Structure 1
Amino acid sequence: MLANKSFTLIGSGVSVMLIAALTGCSASGGVPGASKGGELRLALLGDISTPDPDTAYDGSELNIVNSAYEGLLGYVPGKQEPELTGVLATEWTASANNTVFTFRLREGVTFHDGTPFTADAIQSSFDRRNAIGEGPSYMTAGVASVVAADDFNVTITLRQPNSSFLDLLASPFGPKMISPTALKEHPVVNGSEDWFDSNDAGTGPYTYGAFAPGTSYQLNAYGGYWGDAPGYDAVSFDVFSNSATIQLELQDGGVDGLIGYADASTFDQLKRSDRLSAYAFPSMETPTMFVNPQSPDLADPDVRRSFISSIDFNALADTALADTATPTDGVFPTTLLPANLNTQAITYNPNALAQLAKGQLAGSTITIAYAQAGPAAQALSDNLAAVLNGAGIAAESVGYDTGSYYAALTEGAAAPDITFYSGFPDTASPEAWAFVFYTPAGGLDLFGADVPGVADLIDQATVTGDDALYGDVAQRVSESGYWRSVATSLGLAVFQKGISGVDRAYSPVITGILDIALIEPPA
């Protein structure tokens, strides 16, 4: 742990989410900005999409959803190494072939509408997620059956073995348990207004209160919660239009804290304040460089590998990301694989850049793309362009709005040569990263690079969970030169001094998410 009076670096971890949340007060007196009236204000940089438990896929949305809903399993908050813990399940087992999973459910739990939680809720909750069919639906799509022996003992059988199924249940995006009563009263009807956009029927420590999209979102403590009471009686998420206003509010004591979005410069300013405590949490977000396999200049394997070797990625990360990330020599995100299986195959050659400038890349122009919504990607793109230009290789850093970024990467030889993208796995399983980023079918293999044998290795590893197979994937991916993990970004939070619980509330997987119920007002 590295600390001074204003900055605490907790472990080594992962990156900055694109959405901000802040906390503020509704009472006066005491610590500036700190709530004495039992209300915690959380400010959002821009509005959220929807706090529906089966569609939410942003940090800000998940801070709301995960305060009101719970799944069978979770990860222990505040730990760098992901550790499964029971939430609505207290015990669980997996068959040797990772196909049959049994759960003992927690007794004495009620949904916010008063319906008792029993095994009946599992099938109907899974069914709703599958019926909606949006991003997180893949987590339950492989379930063949849910069979209850009684109200509190249930067996879930998969169509195919999946060694990461328990991790999918534990994911911050994982399936949440929803009241069967509410599901019957408010079924999924395509094209109609979704009741769950502004109401909840979960089991969590908070319930949804008044929602005014574009303005604010309210949470209220649930008096019948089965666990420890949350630290604040109420939480409100207020929408701000720009980060500069949020920063001023934080520095002036108008809000209690910031969760998530901050670039290196902003974080550096905030951590210098004597009235604030700044945190940098570990997680798994990993800014990564992708190389276009159809690039006219980098398609040749020898040139591409030489290009990868020519870049001092540790120096690039230090310069571009400063205190918001730590350099990595891994392939997969931190903690997903043992270090001996997770090391870059192409090492830095300080002579390679000058050789390329005089040889294969003489007269070339390298285009480096980034999405304008990503401060880490832009900083890396701009700094790499400066390095290449300084070495005599023409390079340009080009930003795209979110709507055009992904389309630009599909243009084959006409697409940018390189892009930086800051991604994270949905859960603490190497399969969740490998399939998504290293196979064309995964969704975030941004240029569609395809390394022979990698998809088959991932399929085998999904069945067995064998780290050695994922190690083979890491080796082949690294040798290809199509991808280069650059850093492990840190999840940032800045709070007024005196507010407690922040350092034990972070998610070990995804930045921008805190267990809000663990945050407590000053004594």
Structure 2
Amino acid sequence: MSNNTHPRSSSVQWDRRRFLKASGLTAGGMGLVSLIAACGGGSGGGADGGTVTLRMPFLADMQIPDPDIMYEGEGVQVMESAYEGLVRYESGTGKIIAGLATSWTVSDDQLTYTFTLQPGVKFHDGTIADATAWTKSFERRGKINQGPAYMVAGVAATDAPDPTTFVVTLAEPNNAFMHYLACPWQPFAVSPTAVESHAVAGDLAQEWLKNHDAGTGPYTIAEFVPGSHYTLKAFPDYWGGKPTFETVRIEITPSVSTQKLQLDSGAFDIVTKGFPIPDVLQYQQNSQFTVVNAVGGVGEAIWLNPHSGIFADKVLRKAVQTALDRAAIVETAWGGLTTAQEGMWPDRTFPAALAPFPSEVDTAPLAAMVPTLASNKVDLAWGADLGAPRQQMAELVQTQLAALGLDVTVRTMPTAEMFDLANQPSEKRPDMLVAFLGGDALHLDTTFRILLRTDAKPLNFYQYSNPELDDLMDEAVRQPTPEQSDAIYQQISGIILDEAIWIPLCLPPNSTIAHNYVTGIENNAFFPQIVWPPTLSRS
């Protein structure tokens, strides 16, 4: 696929000019030096009886940490700490690199994938993560059949000819398959012994895995207390070497303001997302902190409800599509730190030139339609998982539409509620939703497969269905060359643009903020809210 195996680097440096420009967007609170003094700032990297502990927050509870069920953003840090896949994305480049597989080959017919495994890797129960364990892990994901199960749905067979050789045979070619295996929700190695030992009534250990783990990662799940905290303990037999931090303590802290106070006081060592931009920029100017800025493969967009409410009218959706000044919305909300997307998709997954989004603003069609509407009321929700910049984008959309005669109400939508939209009646869903737009991997197939495919849940929020698109997305992944699949993705993009179900906004920058004694921060190339656990260290 175009630029999929080696996406370009996305490191971001925010300069003084941008700092001054953005710092007036929201109140950043008192100066950091005063705040740290007021909170009794410490040296961080807390010690519990000599145990080096890394402390960090989550904005909300994650789903249960079952490796074949967990399918959201908030808990991926836990999964990447306890479990590992065959391959992964290299930080900063998106190149697919070795994980538990040291090398791999693909047959000429693109059906057979042969992986050479790292020898001697132990699960947390002490058993060996060999090729047979991988066959069982693939089998479990398919049987659990939750959101990420599509990644193995095309597997016809697996084989373990010897302990360090794992063979996967697909039913038909799939040029996205290696990206499935590299993404944050990838198939993980799961101990067959643990699954068998803790299975109850054939549940494949689902009940036990609600608060335990069966992985190979650098950390084990020691405590999982919903609504309170999760504690991870270093695995002493980790094949990659003992982690620097012996304990990772994750506190559920829904308030960004509280997270900031805790970070400034030294109660938290690192925060991986969610701070308002003016605060981020102030931390960047403070020598006591390190700020790592990165973008990934997921954009921001406006979703329109095509089935009920005011936007069931396609003509009205198309009028809104051109009426909004996306450049002004993004410029104001992000203070010049990112720009409106030129293309329909994040540019790390598909070139903007092949699927451009109209940049010209034309308010006339919408202004002409508004007086003829039976109702001018619009319910606009924004997903709470991104934080302040998304809220401001929603409010700016409200302002622009109000100027054209629409009565727009803005509300916050908690992540759990957003992930349940697909199960709600159409009339219970908001007319507009400002949320993420992107798939599971640096390959456009996953965007379509999880956000648009008929009956896909939970991320096809409005349960859009188009059998023609379903067939086209399947056809695209079977193509032997990038040029052939790109041509089909262009066709899909044209259909979606005509349907006017999404209005792309921008590729948001993500900021990881840490005390400067925390080193080795490597953000995931697709989902930069994740930091790679084995490289984290302290100076």
Query: Under TM normalisation by the shorter chain, which class is it?
Result: 0.7 to 0.9
Aligned twin of 1:17: none
Q: CA deviation at 1:263?
A: 4.1
Distance 1:412 1:227, change over 3 A: closer
Over aligned residue pairs, what C-alpha RMSD do you find?
3.2
Q: Distance in 1 between matches of 2:17 and 2:222?
A: 34
Q: CA deviation at 1:248?
A: 0.6
Distance 1:400 1:201, change over 3 A: closer
Aligned twin of 2:439: 425
8 Å contact from structure 1 (residues 324, 492) kept in 2: no
Residues 107-130 of structure 1 show CA distances to partners (whole Å, capped at 9, x for unaligned) of: 132222221221110121122222
Q: CA deviation at 1:155?
A: 1.7
Distance 1:174 1:294, change over 3 A: closer
2:91 counterpart of 1:82 = no
Q: CA deviation at 1:335?
A: 0.7
8 Å contact from structure 2 (residues 382, 394) kept in 1: no
Q: CA deviation at 1:409?
A: 9.8
Residue aligned with 2:88, SS? strand
Q: Distance in 2 between matches of 1:450 and 1:372?
A: 22
8 Å contact from structure 1 (residues 6, 277) kept in 2: no
Distance 1:169 1:395, change over 3 A: same
Question: Residues 82-481 of structure 1 correspond to what in structure 2 (within 5 A)?
Answer: 82-187=94-199, 189=201, 194-264=207-277, 267=280, 270-271=283-284, 273-294=286-307, 298=311, 301-322=314-335, 326-344=339-357, 346-349=358-361, 352-354=362-364, 356-357=366-367, 359-362=368-371, 364=373, 365-371=376-382, 373-374=384-385, 375=387, 376-400=389-413, 407=421, 416-443=430-457, 444-449=459-464, 453-464=468-479, 466-481=485-500
Residues 124-173 of structure 1 show CA distances to partners (whole Å, capped at 9, x for unaligned) of: 11222223222222222332211122111222112333221111111111
Residue aligned with 1:199, SS? coil
2:58 counterpart of 1:44 = yes
Aligned pair partner of 1:68 in 82, 95, 102: 82
Residue aligned with 1:388, SS? helix
Q: CA deviation at 1:425?
A: 1.2
Distance 1:262 1:168, change over 3 A: same
8 Å contact from structure 2 (residues 383, 435) kept in 1: no
Unaligned segments of structure 1, at least 5 residues: 9-28
Q: Distance in 2 between matches of 1:228 and 1:176?
A: 19
Distance 1:61 1:302, change over 3 A: closer
Residues 381-410 of structure 1 show CA distances to partners (whole Å, capped at 9, x for unaligned) of: 221111122344443334455666555996
8 Å contact from structure 2 (residues 110, 173) kept in 1: yes
Residue aligned with 1:395, SS? strand
Which residue identity does 1:429 align to in structure 2? Answer: H
Aligned pair partner of 1:2 in 13, 17, 31: 13
8 Å contact from structure 2 (residues 455, 465) kept in 1: no
Unaligned segments of structure 2, at least 5 residues: 1-11, 20-39
Q: Distance in 2 between matches of 1:446 and 1:429?
A: 20
Residue aligned with 1:458, SS? helix
Distance 1:380 1:433, change over 3 A: same
Aligned twin of 2:4: none
Residue aligned with 2:478, SS? helix
Distance 1:88 1:303, change over 3 A: same
Q: Distance in 2 between matches of 1:30 and 1:394?
A: 47
Residue aligned with 2:245, SS? coil
Distance 1:53 1:7, change over 3 A: farther
Q: Distance in 1 between matches of 2:192 and 2:14?
A: 47
Question: Residues 504-523 of structure 1 correspond to what in structure 2 (within 5 A)?
Answer: 505-522=522-539
Q: CA deviation at 1:237?
A: 1.6
Distance 1:239 1:450, change over 3 A: closer
Which residue identity does 1:397 align to in structure 2? Answer: V
Q: Distance in 1 between matches of 2:74 and 2:189?
A: 20
Which residue identity does 1:440 align to in structure 2? Answer: T
Residue aligned with 1:387, SS? helix
Q: Distance in 2 between matches of 1:342 and 1:414?
A: 32
Q: Distance in 1 between matches of 2:309 and 2:191?
A: 55
Q: Distance in 2 between matches of 1:463 and 1:273?
A: 50
Which residue identity does 1:426 align to in structure 2? Answer: D
Task: Please report the TM-score for the alignment, with normalisation by the length of structure 2.
Answer: 0.82
Q: Distance in 2 between matches of 1:426 and 1:408?
A: 18
Aligned twin of 2:31: none
Distance 1:110 1:4, change over 3 A: same
Q: CA deviation at 1:174?
A: 0.9
Distance 1:122 1:294, change over 3 A: closer
Q: Kindly, what percent of the aligned residue pairs are identical?
A: 27
Distance 1:408 1:387, change over 3 A: farther
Q: Distance in 2 between matches of 1:41 and 1:67?
A: 14
Q: Distance in 2 between matches of 1:135 and 1:448?
A: 15
Q: Distance in 1 between matches of 2:338 and 2:104?
A: 36
Q: CA deviation at 1:471?
A: 2.3
2:505 counterpart of 1:486 = yes
Residue aligned with 1:120, SS? helix
8 Å contact from structure 1 (residues 284, 489) kept in 2: no
2:516 counterpart of 1:497 = yes
